[in-house]
């Protein structure tokens, strides 16, 4: 058994001990990787790159000995899978600064909402049904389906049913783009409508004005990311029926001295 698989198994069991409904998919989401990749790692059939190790170390809170043991192991066989050749990349698509603006999939909320809607109970694959549930045009849904299939986020089964895949699109936090900006602005616009129109028992808006040390912001950002992971785990722990949008905004009220 590899050092990586051993540590992952221990961490996975610890999380399951705290939450019996904690799934492999939830574990993969916390690590921001696909379930298939995590499954291969747990079995010792796949390793990770040195570049990806710090991120996993932070999420799993690895101690120095655990981190060093995995790093030493990677140095000898980076991305090597016994009997399966070398993995060129993860099944999780990372979008960089060069192609991010070209992906309408990031800026249009319908794409993500459609994938999540297909995970709900009694979901139907008919474009008309999907359009009606999302409150958008049939043409928009059909375009979204084609795009999601193209980027490996959706597949059409032999019987015609649509199924969301576990592959994810990730955008590095430091990336700035017109696509992401458009999505954030759209979320703010839709939120302003929801605060007036959505039933009180189906939405929640709150705020807090606080004084902080700017040097502590990275820690706060990490706390927000951890809560997002907990939210995803919560979503996977019970039957899914409706689609909601969860947004977080943090911005300064005072300028620099």
- The CATH number of the structural domain formed by 3-86 is 1.10.260
118-151 pLDDT tens trace: 989 999 999 999 999 999 999 999 999 998 888 7
**What is the rounded distance in angstroms from the CA atom of residue 17 to the CA atom of residue 14?**
5
Q: pTM above the 0.85 mark?
A: no
Residues of the chain with CATH 1.10.260: 3-86
Q: Are 167 and 89 in contact (CB under 8 A)?
A: no
CATH architecture of the region 92-257: Orthogonal Bundle (1.10)
Q: Which of 100, 81, 134, 93 is nearest to 242 (CA)?
A: 134
The angle subtended at Cα 5 by Cα 119 and Cα 22, nearest 5°, is: 35
pLDDT in tens, 146-186: 988 887 788 899 888 998 875 555 555 444 567 778 888 99
Q: How far is CA 101 from the centre of its chain?
A: 19
Residue ranges matching CATH 1.10.10.10 in the chain = 92-257
């Amino acid at each position: 058994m590899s050092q990586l698989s051993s540590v992952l198994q221990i961490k996975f069991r610890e999380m399951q001990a705290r939450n019996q409904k904690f799934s492999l998919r939830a574990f993969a989401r916390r690590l921001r990787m696909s379930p298939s990749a995590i499954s291969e790692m747990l079995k010792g059939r796949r390793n990770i790159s040195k570049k990806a190790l710090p991120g996993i170390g932070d999420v799993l809170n690895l101690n120095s000995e655990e981190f060093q043991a995995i790093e030493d192991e990677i140095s000898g066989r980076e991305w090597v899978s016994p009997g399966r050749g070398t993995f060129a990349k993860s099944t999780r698509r990372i979008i960089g600064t060069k192609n991010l603006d070209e992906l309408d999939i990031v800026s249009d909320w319908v794409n993500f909402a459609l994938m999540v809607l297909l995970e709900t109970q009694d979901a139907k694959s008919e474009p008309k049904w999907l359009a009606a549930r999302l409150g958008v045009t049939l043409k928009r849904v059909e375009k979204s389906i084609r795009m999601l299939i193209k980027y490996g986020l959706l597949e059409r089964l032999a019987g015609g049913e649509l199924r969301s895949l576990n592959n994810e699109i990730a955008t590095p936090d430091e990336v700035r783009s017109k696509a992401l900006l458009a999505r954030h602005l759209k979320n703010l616009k839709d939120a302003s409508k929801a605060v007036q129109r959505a039933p009180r028992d189906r939405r929640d808006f709150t705020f807090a004005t606080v004084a902080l040390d700017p040097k502590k912001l990275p820690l706060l950002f990490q706390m927000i990311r951890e809560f997002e992971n907990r939210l995803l785990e919560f979503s996977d722990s019970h039957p899914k029926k409706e689609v909601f949008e969860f947004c977080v905004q943090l911005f300064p009220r005072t300028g620099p001295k």
